[in-house]
Amino acid sequence: MKRFYPIAFFLMSCMLSFTLFGQSSDTDKKVYVINIKAEIDPRMNRQVSRGFEEAEKAEAELIILHIDTYGGALNDADDIRTMVLNSPVPVYAFIDKDAASAGALISIACDSIYMAPGGSIGAATVVTGDGQAAPDKYQSYMRSIMRSTAEAKGRDPKIAEAMVDERLSIPGITDAGQVLTFSTSEAIANDFCEAQVNDIEEILLNQGITRYEITTYEPDGIEKIIALFLNPFVSGILILIIIGGIYFELQTPGVGFPLAAAITATILYFIPYYLTGLAENWEIVLFLVGIILLAVELLVIPGFGVFGVAGIVAILSSLVLVMVDNKTFDFTFVSGASLFSAILTLLLALLGAMGLLVYAGARFDKIGMFKRIAMAGTQERAAGYTSSYYAADMVGKIGVTHTVLRPSGKVLIDGELYDAYSRGEYIEAGVSITVISTEGTSLKVKQS
């Protein structure tokens, strides 16, 4: 009997240790929630990617995607699907009402799917920006990744494919002629949902997790700043500063402040769109090409022609294109609403810029800072100032261009060479000209 006591004590100690260990493990269960409650686009792609990174840093033991979306861009959904499939941590989907199209693809990639009452999953046909079915090459790709994703998670690949292809018929589940969409109960019956739950806590209880720590991913300060600059109103303000800064720099060369403002606004405009995947390299290059063409037109080629128009078109096109999720001028999946919003933002910014130019043009010389860097006063002749290096009788004289005027150069009058410039037009050498003004140290001439 005495020998039994040590054995009993040992067994009780083991049971107590096991119980305490289980409670400790349960207590330490770290659950990370990432919300997918908007359109699947580059911004959502970045948000989910950042969420997975933060979950890894927090050493999460379970990731739950809280899904309520009607879908979105196929390429961004595929990126998120890949993140889920490659996650070393189990990923569950909680469909809080809707997981349509791209949302269905992401849900099927998860290890377990839970749905709220009244939820739905399916309708994964790829559609264009105007809501019509996309060409078959896109449907074929979507069918393929839906099948392979379902197979990877032990779900029926034919059912997943039927969510894309209305031609498929599965006896007892769906007839040909309609895209498959499951309600919560239908998804449970066909092993596309583990259970109906009301919230995330019920998911954890269903898994036997009674002690847990839930952390919901929230964008940090930098992400909030990026989101702020993606706001159409802020984008419009930045476009206004870009256009206004370029204009004032051309009107007051050497001042520097308008150019610095334009460069700063350009950086603040493009970087947020670039970080979220909306702005591609070629769109930024298009903007720079537009600036170069405009500079060539203004500084090298006289007048305002093809280079200037092409430069303006390139600049404005770039500013619009970075706001929409096009793929090298492929607008198949760009909705009319997003394109209209981008164009409207640009037009309002242009109107604002024109208003600013009219208002500021009349008041610029009254700004204190401007007075310190530019001469705003009037130099009257009575105070000893003179506006011309030449005598007044030079006006009206006729000569010929000694060099090409583009618009400045040399002219020959009465056997003497003079510095001269035209009114902006290009005048070949050897052409007859007439002096129309003697302001400054050069003669202003026109073609006779």
The b/e string for 214-253 (b: 16+ C-beta within 10 A; e otherwise) is eeebeeeeebeebeebbeeebbbbbbbbbbbbbbbbeebe
d(CA 160, CA 81): 14
What would the pLDDT profile of 392-414 be if each residue is shown by its tens digit? 678 889 999 998 887 888 899 98
Asked if the model's pLDDT at residue 361 lies above 50, the reply is: yes
In terms of Cα–Cα distance, which of 193, 421, 134 is closest to 302?
Answer: 421
d(CA 13, CA 368): 83
Q: Which domain holds residue 66?
A: 23-218
Query: Any idea which of 1-15, 114-128, 316-330 has the lowest mean pLDDT?
Result: 1-15
Asked if the model's pLDDT at residue 388 lies above 60, the reply is: no
> pLDDT higher for 383 or 350?
350
The mean pLDDT of 175-185, rounded to a whole number, is 92
What would the pLDDT profile of 252-294 be if each residue is shown by its tens digit? 655 578 888 889 999 999 998 888 878 888 889 999 999 888 8
Using alpha carbons only, give the angle 344, 350, 355 rounded to the nearest 5 degrees: 125
**The two structure tokens encoding residue 18:** 């096991």
Provide the CATH number for the domain around residue 426. 2.40.50.140
How large a percentage of the chain has pLDDT more than 90?
Answer: 40
pLDDT of residue 300: 74
Do residue 138 and residue 89 come from a single domain? yes
**The two structure tokens encoding residue 394:** 């030079």
Q: Which residue has the tokens 């709220």?
A: 116
407 preceded by cis ω (within 30°)? yes
Per-residue pLDDT band for 384 (boundaries 50, 70, 90) equals very low
What are the start-end ranges of the E strands in 326-431? 398-401, 408-413, 416-421
Asked if the model's pLDDT at residue 231 lies above 70, the reply is: yes
Is 9 among the domain residues?
no
> pLDDT higher for 322 or 89?
89
Taking residue 328's Cβ as centre, other Cβ atoms within 10 Å add up to 8
Q: Give the best-scoring range by mean pLDDT among 90-94, 127-131, 342-346.
A: 90-94
Per-residue pLDDT band for 23 (boundaries 50, 70, 90) equals very low
Per-residue pLDDT band for 424 (boundaries 50, 70, 90) equals confident
Provide the CATH number for the domain around residue 195. 3.90.226.10
Asked if the model's pLDDT at residue 24 lies above 70, the reply is: no
Is 5 among the domain residues?
no
The mean pLDDT of 416-434, rounded to a whole number, is 87
Do residue 235 and residue 298 come from a single domain? yes
For 185, the enclosing helix (H) or strand (E) is helix 184-189
Among residues 373, 404, 425, which one ends one of the domains? 373
CB 63, CB 200: distance < 8 Å: no
The mean pLDDT of 45-65, rounded to a whole number, is 95
Is 250 among the domain residues?
yes
Asked if the model's pLDDT at residue 65 lies above 70, the reply is: yes
Do residue 366 and residue 390 come from a single domain? no
What integer best gives the mean pLDDT of the chain?
83
Do residue 188 and residue 246 come from a single domain? no
In DSSP notation, 18-42 reads HHHHHHHHHHT-EEEEEEE-S-BSH
Is 435 among the domain residues?
yes
pLDDT of residue 129: 65
pLDDT of residue 9: 46
Asked if the model's pLDDT at residue 430 lies above 50, the reply is: yes
CB 430, CB 401: distance < 8 Å: yes
Do residue 135 and residue 206 come from a single domain? yes
Do residue 342 and residue 437 come from a single domain? no
Is 284 among the domain residues?
yes
Write the CA distances from 366 to 246, 257, 374, 377, integer angstroms: 20, 16, 11, 10
pLDDT of residue 335: 66
Among residues 199, 218, 237, which one ends one of the domains? 218
pTM (2 d.p.)? 0.67
The mean pLDDT of 130-137, rounded to a whole number, is 77
Is 1 among the domain residues?
no
Domain count, the chain: 3
> pLDDT higher for 298 or 88?
88
CB 417, CB 410: distance < 8 Å: yes
The mean pLDDT of 186-208, rounded to a whole number, is 95
Do residue 84 and residue 108 come from a single domain? yes
pLDDT of residue 26: 45
Asked if the model's pLDDT at residue 64 lies above 50, the reply is: yes
Asked if the model's pLDDT at residue 122 lies above 70, the reply is: yes
Per-residue pLDDT band for 389 (boundaries 50, 70, 90) equals low
What would the pLDDT profile of 282-291 be if each residue is shown by its tens digit? 889 999 999 8
Among residues 191, 218, 245, which one ends one of the domains? 218
Asked if the model's pLDDT at residue 142 lies above 90, the reply is: yes
